[in-house]
A and B are shown apart, each in its own frame.
Chain A
Amino acid sequence: MDKTVPDLATAVAGIEDGMVLMVGGFGGSGAPIELIHALIDRFKATGSPKSLTVVNNNAGNGRIGIAAMIDAGMVAKMICSFPRSADPRAFTEKYLAGEIGLELVPQGTLAERIRAGGAGIPAFYTPASYGTDVAKGKPVAEFDGKHYVQERWLKADVAIIKAELADTLGNLTYRKAARNFSPLMASAAAKTIVQATKIVQPGEIDPEHVVTPGIFVDAIVEVSDPKQEEALMREGVAYA
């Protein structure tokens, strides 16, 4: 078995109009910039994929990454906890114009909904948001004298994530705080596409060090010198 694919364009070829797309990363840390930009390249060349629902903690920064997807007109809706950033123009302008949807989810609830999606748990109860506007319309239950809000699992058609090391079976490690949502998203998507800084042979990653087991991974492309979103921001790069 070998899950590697030859290039970025091949890696993102199966992402179709209207899909739910999870994108790893928290701000720039862990953002799979090259996979995102390959998706934008395809959209510019073919008009697809569009009408995407994108799941990420944030809603893009500047004119690169998810912000560039929004600028390009590929995103119908964001599911996120914090659609603000140093330069949130792309999302803010479309949101205030009513051109993009928003499902605002508390950060821990977002993480747990994705985890539940990957773990086959259709719903769970959390104390977060009880008694707030965010809980409106959601079932509430009392356990041991405290109130909790029912939340549903969150699954995706495709997840695109960034890893540090991948072996050809899809076992992954991450760099520093860059793992954040990615291990959860890898489990919650029907298809998980990984850009890895280095691809190695099975056995070269100590099993004790594997963070995401290969069972959650479908395709891997090597991007040996990945760009960092925050660094691109500071260079003033615009992709859209």
Chain B
Amino acid sequence: MTSKLSNAQIAWRAAQDIEDGAYVNLGIGFPEMVAKFQPPGKQAIFHTENGVLNFGEAPAAGEEDWDLINAGKKAITLRPGAAFFHHADSFAMVRGGHLDVAILGTYEVAENGDLANWSTGPKGVPAVGGAMDLVHGAKRVAVITDHVTKDDKPKLVKRCTLPLTGVGCVTRVYTSLAVLDIENGRFVLREKLPTMSVAELQAVTGAEMVLPDQIGDLVAPEL
């Protein structure tokens, strides 16, 4: 293994699958980067839990209006056609199946679609936010993540060991090395870095991958 995608490149790859006109929620932190890489001609409408649809980029420094923030408490701007609503309506959009895509970060994702992204264990102050709601209701729940942890342990696993955010909820995983779907309780390899063999990828994946006849090359531009 010689290289891997940067976080920006993983976000870019995930952005390519968002349809024109899709309603999309991006998790706090790394997933927020996906918004920067919307392909030309494809305009997604972004939802944030605290009650805004169709928000745009961050304002210039000094131009912030702190009544206008996203779920990560960062200042945002509005696009033409934006809407405000209260929290119960916001989560009706989430759980009611009205979002097309939710893209989240993760600590672990399992081959059965279980996601663990809210707690690394009983230490410290627990905080869940909207993650447990977001994993239910969106038509597609995608995860973007490094393929392995900082100490090279698989983040794609047979069963999660960390506290779960949701059961059987993830449908697609974009990593620094590959794109995989979760189908029938298995990771199905769709794309991998062309510089990497299937055997090398399997060695850093914690569950046996299903290998279809067609496996695409995972290629992202320099960003």
Contact = CB atoms under 8 A, between A and B. Distances in A.
Interface in B142-166: 163-166
B51 interface: yes
A176 B67 CA distance: 6
A184 B130 contact: no
B12 interface: no
B90 interface: yes
A213 interface: no
Given A177-B52, A180-B87, A184-B88, A134 B132 contact: yes
B94 A108 contact: yes
B22 interface: no
Interface string A76-89: 00000111111010
Contacts of A84: 125, 127
Contact of B132 (A30, A102, A106, A175): A106
B88 A111 contact: yes
Interface residues of A, number: 54
A29 B133 contact: no
Interface string B61-93: 000111111000100000000001111101100
A82 B67 contact: no
Contact of A83 (B95, B125, B130): B125
Nearest to B164: A132
A130 B94 CA distance: 16
A88 B127 CA distance: 12
B129 interface: yes
Given A129-B132, A177-B52, A85 B95 contact: no
Given A29-B66, A180-B86, A104 B126 contact: yes
A106 B67 contact: no
- Of the listed residues B90, B131, B132, the one surrounded by the most CB atoms of chain A closer than 10 A to its CB is B132
A177 B125 contact: no
B144 to A, nearest CB: 21
A107 B65 contact: no
B31 interface: no
B38 to A, nearest CB: 22
Given A81-B127, A82-B128, A134-B132, A128 B66 contact: no
A185 to B, nearest CB: 10
A155 interface: no
A183 interface: yes
Nearest to B133: A108
Closest 10 CB pairs of A and B: A108-B91, A108-B133, A131-B167, A111-B87, A230-B66, A127-B136, A107-B130, A106-B132, A115-B88, A27-B73
23 contacts: A28-B66, A28-B69, A30-B67, A82-B129, A83-B125, A86-B73, A88-B125, A91-B125, A107-B49, A107-B128, A107-B133, A110-B87, A111-B86, A127-B137, A128-B95, A132-B166, A133-B163, A176-B84, A180-B86, A181-B86, A184-B86, A228-B67, A231-B66
Interface of B: 48-52, 64-69, 73, 84-88, 90-91, 94-95, 114, 119, 124-133, 136-137, 163-167
Given A115-B88, A126-B133, A133-B163, 17 more contacts: A26-B51, A29-B68, A82-B127, A82-B128, A104-B128, A107-B130, A108-B49, A108-B133, A111-B90, A131-B166, A176-B84, A180-B87, A181-B86, A181-B87, A211-B86, A230-B64, A230-B73
